[in-house]
C-alpha cells in the first residue's frame, strides 16, 4: 500500500565558484627594481673609488666640496693628514708604504710641461680657464711630492683659489724658516725653495711673493720694524728661488704685510704667523694686475703726469 505522504527529498544546489581575476601586473616593479640596481651600482662605484684613491686625495675631495680654506680658519690643502696648523681639516700627505716619493716628481713635471704645450691662440676663454685650473692641480701635486720627500708637510699648505694656487710656507715648533728677527734663510728652507724653483718654470704663470711676521716688536720701530722684516724675507725667498733656477721674470710683485694678516690672530706670537706666501696667478689674474698698473706703469704714471701738465700750479 502506497504511503499517502509525499516522499521527502533533498534538493542540492551546486554553485560554481567564480574564479577571481587578479589585476594585471603593471611595470611599477620593474621601475623599483631598476632604481634599486642603480643605487647598488652607485654604492659599489663609490666603494671602488674610495679603495683606489689615497687618503689625502679623499680628504682633498671633501675639502673641495665643503669649500674649506686655510685663509678663513678652515684649511683646504692637499698636504696634510695630521697636526693641523689652523684648522681641523688641513690635508697633508702621509708617508705611504715606504715608497720613494721623488719617483713621481719628474713624471709630474713632464705632465706640467705637456699641459703648457697644448695652449694656442685659438683657445676660448672657457678652454683657457679649464687648462689653467688643471695646471694648478698638477702643480700642487708636484709640490706635494717634493714636500713629502723633504718631510716638510707641517711647513707647507696649499689651496686653489679663483686667482690661482696659493702656497703657504711657514715655521713650526721644530723648524724656523728664517733666523730669528732676521731675513737670513735657514739651510732646510733654503734647500726646500731650491727644489721648488724648477717646478715654477714648467708653466708660464706669474707669481706674487708676500712676507708675514708674527706680532713681536723691535725696540726701535723707526730703525727697523715688521714691515722691513716681512719685505726683506719675501725678497730673500725670491732670491732663493732664482738661485734654484726659477726664471727671474716669474715674480711680478713682492709684498710686505708685517703682522697685519695673522694666520692665528688668537695667538699673535705663534710660529704659524711667520710665513711666506707664494701666489701662482692664473693668466686672468695676472692680466687684471697688468691692466691696473699697465705693463710698465703707464696706466697710473702717464695719466697722472698728463693731468699735472694740464693743471700746473
Per-residue pLDDT tens digits for 163-212? 999 999 998 888 999 998 899 999 999 999 999 999 999 888 999 999 99
Return the closest-CA partner of residue 163 out of 253, 74, 231: 253
Of residues 214 and 72, more confidently modeled:
214
Q: What is the rounded radius of gyration, in angstroms, for the C-alpha atoms of the chain?
A: 34
Could you tell me if residue 138 is left (phi over 0), alpha (psi between -120 and 50 degrees) or otherwise beta?
Answer: alpha
pLDDT tens for residues 67-126? Answer: 554 444 433 333 333 333 333 333 334 444 444 445 566 666 666 665 555 555 555 656
Report pLDDT for 87: 36
How far apart CA 154 and CA 281 sit, in angstroms, is: 24
- The whole-number average pLDDT for the span 152-162 is 91
pLDDT tens for residues 274-308? Answer: 999 999 999 888 988 888 877 665 666 566 566 66
* pLDDT above 80: residue 10: no
Report pLDDT for 93: 40
- The whole-number average pLDDT for the span 32-59 is 75
Greatest mean pLDDT among 14-28, 44-58, 157-171, 280-294 = 157-171
- Asked if 77 contacts 63 with a C-beta cutoff of 8 angstroms, the reply is yes
Q: How confident is the model at residue 9 (pLDDT cuts 50, 70, 90)?
A: low
So what CATH class is 103-302? alpha beta
Of residues 89 and 13, more confidently modeled:
13
Return the closest-CA partner of residue 265 out of 91, 63, 72, 69: 72
pTM: 0.61
How far apart CA 245 and CA 238 sit, in angstroms, is: 11
In the chain, where are the structural domains located? 103-302
Amino acid at each position: 500500500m502506497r504511503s499517502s505522504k509525499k516522499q521527502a527529498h533533498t534538493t542540492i544546489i551546486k554553485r560554481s565558484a567564480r574564479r577571481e581575476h587578479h589585476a594585471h601586473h603593471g611595470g611599477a616593479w620593474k621601475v623599483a627594481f631598476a632604481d634599486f640596481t642603480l643605487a647598488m651600482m652607485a654604492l659599489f662605484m663609490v666603494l671602488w673609488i674610495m679603495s683606489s684613491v689615497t687618503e689625502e686625495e679623499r680628504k682633498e675631495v671633501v675639502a673641495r666640496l665643503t669649500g674649506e680654506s686655510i685663509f678663513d680658519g678652515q684649511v683646504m690643502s692637499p698636504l696634510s693628514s695630521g697636526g693641523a696648523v689652523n684648522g681641523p681639516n688641513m690635508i697633508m700627505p702621509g708617508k705611504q708604504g715606504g715608497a720613494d716619493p721623488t719617483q713621481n716628481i719628474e713624471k709630474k713635471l713632464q705632465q706640467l710641461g705637456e699641459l703648457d704645450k697644448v695652449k694656442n691662440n685659438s683657445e676660448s676663454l672657457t678652454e683657457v680657464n679649464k687648462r689653467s685650473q688643471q695646471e694648478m692641480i698638477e702643480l700642487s701635486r708636484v709640490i706635494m711630492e717634493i714636500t713629502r720627500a723633504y718631510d716638510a708637510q707641517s711647513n707647507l699648505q696649499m689651496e686653489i683659489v679663483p686667482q690661482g694656487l696659493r702656497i703657504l710656507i711657514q715655521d713650526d715648533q721644530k723648524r724656523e724658516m728664517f733666523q730669528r728677527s732676521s731675513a737670513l734663510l735657514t739651510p732646510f728652507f733654503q734647500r726646500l725653495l731650491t727644489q721648488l724653483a724648477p717646478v715654477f718654470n714648467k708653466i708660464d704663470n706669474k707669481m706674487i711673493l708676500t712676507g708675514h711676521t708674527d706680532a713681536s716688536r723691535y725696540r726701535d720701530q723707526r730703525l727697523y720694524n715688521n714691515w722691513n722684516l716681512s719685505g726683506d724675507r719675501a725678497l730673500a725667498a725670491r732670491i732663493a728661488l732664482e738661485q734654484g733656477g726659477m726664471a727671474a721674470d716669474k715674480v711680478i710683485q713682492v709684498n710686505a704685510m708685517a703682522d697685519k694678516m695673522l694666520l692665528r690672530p688668537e695667538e699673535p706670537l705663534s710660529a704659524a704667523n711667520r710665513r711666506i706666501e707664494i701666489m701662482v696667478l692664473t693668466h686672468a689674474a695676472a692680466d687684471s694686475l697688468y691692466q691696473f698698473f699697465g705693463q710698465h706703469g703707464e696706466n697710473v704714471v702717464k695719466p697722472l703726469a698728463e693731468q699735472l701738465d694740464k693743471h700746473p700750479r
